[in-house]
Structure 1
Amino acid sequence: MNDYIICMDASGDLIREVAADNGIEFVPMEYSLGEEMRTSQGCESEELLKKFYDGQRNGDLTKTSQISPYMYESYFKPFLEKGKSVLYFCLSSGLSSTYQSAMLAAESLKEEYPQGEVYPVDTLAATGGIGLLVEKAVENRKAGMSIRDNLEAVRAVIPKLRHYFMVQDLMYLKRGGRVGAATAIVGSALNIRPMLVVNEEGKLETVDKKRGSKAAMSSLLTFFKENYNPEVDTKIYICDSDTPELAQGLADRIKEAAPEAVIRRTMLSPIIGAHTGPGMVAVILFGK
């Protein structure tokens, strides 16, 4: 039986065509831009995202809020009432409490809807990493895989996910406690670009620093060449927070290095962008 819903956090990035063609559902997430509270429904329009990042550039503070177990229950119930089960891809447990909240909701709903199942997946991923896993799950469902088999199949490839990205505005990392105030001030003055990964525990880790965007883009390309594993998947996500010239330049260089690569270009969700600021570029793929 493969009649089940695939859904993901609005914090994840997925190209619009895949979402629309395969009925992917998004768990809405709240964020603020200045004094205005907003709700992200996933696959935001480019116009909205540009306004968000322009707001950050103009000094608007941005924050996000957590989803409670009750909110998850309210979201999943309509699917269960229709007799559907749910395979849910959520933001890494190393970055957020969403997975724990979703698990509590799933346990609570078991009693009321014994015929349906909710399976949260701790992706240990963010942004396009969640998108890559959702695309895998879509392929598995099309192949007739049951929800439980699909769950195990996507869990098996999670350790192969690789995220590598650079940020341009260190002050956003400072606000999130990722770097100290002195590091942020000195780094900004020296045009330093921190290079970060999502490690095997699903947490952010700074692994390098580059002077300027050109060196940072070369580092992203080197990371791609050293990690790209087309035997697992040829799809690659390049996600940016409104820096299209850098992202497209990286995409062109990757396509030149690996012509068979299927490159997914997306703008970064405001849920993650609230913590990285404008000018971030990420390359996300399945590695060796």
Structure 2
Amino acid sequence: MAEYQIFSDGACDIGFAKAKELGIGLIPFYISIDHETYYKEIQEISLEEYFRYMTEEKGYPKTSLPSIQDYMDAFRPALEAGKDIICITMTRTLTASLESAVTAKSMLEEEFPHAQIHVINSWVATGAQALLLMEMARMQKNGKSLNEVITYAEKAREDARIHFMVGDLSYLEIGGRIGKVATISAGLLKIKPIIILKGGEISAGGICRARKKGLTQIASITAKHFKETGENPAHYIAMPGTNTIWDDMDSFYALLQETVPGMEFLPPFQIGATISTHTGPGTTGFCFVKKYEYYHI
């Protein structure tokens, strides 16, 4: 059985250190704070600099997806080593990263005709995408085959969820994505929409004006989800995340643990530039993904 390498675009926010630990290859997005020069996220521009520009200079950064060549350069060493490839990307409803990866796959298949290269739309992003990757890496470590990991990814993406609160609606408006949430007049931009990302689509989960109330709503939406689906929280792995506001994360973490007891919680993570560019500083949410054992693969 051929060895295989797991890849993801940088929208997963798993971090390069954790990705290296798990043997996952990352293809980062690009960030621009002057709207002219683009830098690879984390590799060429730090999140500290990026968020300083957003919060202190009140700037509106731009992002650009990984290029076809970026994917080819990442995939080629694994293929030359005789490995197959599975790559998951941020949901295609929010970016064309998937298309870049698929084109790179097609070009490399001509060069490596005997290799298997699989590109999968994760239907999610940020922390939920990271949790999918962690489970995929755990499967690989436990001796699961490439096809078993593919089967898991395609099943788990249906149950993966992100419930989050937008930090500043003006970033959605400037990025042209406000229509995906709701039709809201400019005079109401101080509200904080609660958004649900599932199955590759975003929908409105509610609105609030105060951050504390928004965090409570996220917990309530999560409890409602498990009540309506009948799913067992103990079958899931989860983690909360934020981009710039950390002082209330301990209380939010405790609230979530109380809301969905039995769920395995990982430490809070930092939401990166790819999502934050469109949601603004103060974005905070909760991501959860079903563990692979409960699909009986």
Judge same fold: TM > 0.5, yes or no. Answer: yes
Shift of 1:211: 2.2
**For residue 78 of structure 2, what is the aligned residue in structure 1?**
79
**For residue 268 of structure 1, what is the aligned residue in structure 2?**
271
User: Where in structure 2 are the equivalents of 1:34-73 lying within 5 Å?
Assistant: 34=34, 36-41=37-42, 48-57=46-55, 58-73=57-72
In 1, the alpha carbon distance for the partners of 2:119 and 2:11 equals 15
Shift of 1:208: 1.3
In 2, the alpha carbon distance for the partners of 1:127 and 1:27 equals 14
Do 2:2 and 2:83's aligned partners in 1 also have CA atoms closer than 8 Å?
no
Unpaired runs of at least 5, structure 2: 227-231, 291-297
2:208 maps to 1:210:
yes
Do 1:89 and 1:121's aligned partners in 2 also have CA atoms closer than 8 Å?
yes
**For residue 193 of structure 1, what is the aligned residue in structure 2?**
192
Taking only aligned residues, the RMSD between alpha carbons, in angstroms, comes to 2.5
2:281 maps to 1:283:
no
Do 2:19 and 2:26's aligned partners in 1 also have CA atoms closer than 8 Å?
no
2:248 maps to 1:249:
no
Shift of 1:101: 2.2
Do 2:8 and 2:25's aligned partners in 1 also have CA atoms closer than 8 Å?
yes
Do 1:32 and 1:38's aligned partners in 2 also have CA atoms closer than 8 Å?
yes
| Code of the aligned partner of 2:66 | I
User: Where in structure 2 are the equivalents of 1:111-260 lying within 5 Å?
Assistant: 111-179=110-178, 183=184, 185-188=186-189, 191-200=190-199, 202-227=200-225, 229-233=232-236, 235-257=237-259, 258=261
Shift of 1:165: 0.6
| Code of the aligned partner of 1:244 | W
**For residue 229 of structure 2, what is the aligned residue in structure 1?**
none
In 2, the alpha carbon distance for the partners of 1:212 and 1:25 equals 39
**For residue 29 of structure 2, what is the aligned residue in structure 1?**
29
Relative distance call for 1:15 and 1:98 in structure 2 (3 A) is closer
Q: Deviations over 1:223-257 (max 9, x none)?
A: 23233543432x21212111112333211212334
Shift of 1:29: 1.7
The number of equivalent residue pairs is 280
Relative distance call for 1:175 and 1:213 in structure 2 (3 A) is same
TM-score w.r.t. structure 1 length? 0.88
Q: Deviations over 1:82-139 (max 9, x none)?
A: 1122211111011111112211221221121123222111100010111111011012
Do 2:22 and 2:134's aligned partners in 1 also have CA atoms closer than 8 Å?
no
Q: Deviations over 1:164-192 (max 9, x none)?
A: 1111211101012233799363223xx41
TM-score w.r.t. structure 2 length? 0.85
In 1, the alpha carbon distance for the partners of 2:17 and 2:104 equals 30
Do 1:2 and 1:144's aligned partners in 2 also have CA atoms closer than 8 Å?
no
**For residue 13 of structure 2, what is the aligned residue in structure 1?**
13
Structure 1 residues 174-183 or 213-222, which shifts more?
A: 174-183
Shift of 1:264: 3.2
Do 2:132 and 2:289's aligned partners in 1 also have CA atoms closer than 8 Å?
no
Do 1:246 and 1:281's aligned partners in 2 also have CA atoms closer than 8 Å?
no
Do 1:29 and 1:39's aligned partners in 2 also have CA atoms closer than 8 Å?
yes
**For residue 90 of structure 1, what is the aligned residue in structure 2?**
89
